[in-house]
Amino acid sequence: MRKPIVQAANLYQLAQLHDHVAQRAYLKQLGNTTIRDQELTGLSRLLTYFPGNLAAFKHVYVGYDVPQISKEFDLLLVSSDRRIINIELKSDADYPEDKVRKQLVSNHYYLSQITPDVQLYTYNSDANRLYTLTPTGDLEHMTLTHDTTLTQSPFFQAVMGFKSVGFPNLAVVLQPESYTVSPFTQLSFFLKGQYRLMQPQQALKVQLLATTSSGIYAVKTATSVGKTLMIYDVVQTLRASHAVLLVHIGALNAAQATLKRQYGWYILPERQFLKKIKSQRMRHYDVVIVDDAQRLSIRHVHAIQRYFEAHDTRVFLIGDPNQQNKATIKNSNYFATITRNFGQQHLLKLPK
């Protein structure tokens, strides 16, 4: 069942409702079911520091969820020209400030993919404290008061001059694809960690990292930028504690050559990989990942199986069964042979 499209809420109408049950019912009508009572209390308290009937608070997305990247924003104010104010709500006076900063930095990355004009704040209602980031990324805060300290603050001025609007579907504005980068054409973004895996890729990554027994594993996933990013993210994660070899079908591209030469990645084109297997001159790797493995012939898959069955190595053959060409079909491509055995699984251990 598809989730309803979340609509913008009028915070004044929300605050005027007599209890949390009525407030949650109002938000549920607008498609939101995740907000907590503490957040509703904090939201009502925040409104007391502003005059009534502000345009900024008449169209606010409350608890807006981007499921593809497992990301939720407590309050999003969006203008017609795509400017954004994000306010996160906390209700624990002792909530760690390092977590506040981490969330603000994370939110800045996601929202700055949509617009360069994004302002981010966290309001802790129990501490009555407002946090934001400095231009250098440091955390700063102020205590909210009913005086000029607040009214002259950038936060107050930003909200007072903001006109939020509602969109028929905010997902059109917050395109999750904006958070995906290509390790091949956007290598610097990848190396800085400036990306987010989509939910299906994140789930498959968790499954790959949880597979700790040696063996040969076929991994089924659709060909996409997200798939490539997931593979390189897994390699980046495993490299911290394992010897990892990435096998690429075809000649290495410029980004792969850079990773190999400047960053110490172990990457081989499949021809060199297969030659090393045949000559028994392969150094030991804890993990071997073969990308675009649907392009391997069944003969090569069997050669890989024979070689690694005597080694304590996890080998992941990652491919897309739908990306077969005449050559791979003629070679009895292994995905064509075993696809029927996957069922609903995306990872299948091949028998010895």
Share of the chain above pLDDT 70, in %: 87
Hey, what are 99's tokens? 């977590």
Structure-token match 């029927």, residue found: 340
Using DSSP, state whether 127 is helix, strand or coil. coil
215: left (phi over 0), alpha (psi -120 to 50) or beta: left
Whether 120 and 103 have beta carbons less than 8 Å apart is answered as no
Residue 128 class from Cβ within 10 Å (0-12 exposed, 13-18 middle, 19+ buried)? Answer: middle
Q: Are 231 and 291 in contact (CB under 8 A)?
A: yes
**pLDDT value of residue 243:** 97
**Distant-in-sequence contacts of 240-247, Cβ < 8 A, 24+ apart:** 242/286, 242/287, 243/283, 243/284, 243/285, 243/286, 243/287, 244/285, 244/286, 244/287, 244/288, 244/289, 245/273, 245/285, 245/287, 245/288, 245/289, 246/289, 246/291, 247/273, 247/288, 247/289, 247/290, 247/291
> Once rounded to an integer, what is the mean pLDDT over residues 316-321?
84
Q: What is the CATH code for 180-349?
A: 3.40.50.300
Exposure string of 208-244, with b = 16+ CB inside 10 Å and e = fewer, is beebeeebbbbbbbeeebbbbbbbbbbbbebbeeeeb
pLDDT digits (tens, 9 = 90+) for 235-244: 999 999 999 9
Locate the domains of the chain by residue range: 11-176, 180-349
- Looking at 10-14, 150-154, 275-279, 292-296, which range is the least confident one? 292-296
DSSP state of 55: G
Residue 265 scores a pLDDT above 60: yes
pLDDT at position 130 over 70 = yes
For residue 300, pLDDT over 70 is answered with yes
pTM higher than 0.95: no
- DSSP class of residue 184 equals T
CA dist 226 to 198, 254, 345, Å?
Answer: 7, 19, 19
pLDDT tens figures, 48-102: 999 988 999 999 999 998 766 678 899 999 999 889 999 999 999 999 999 999 9
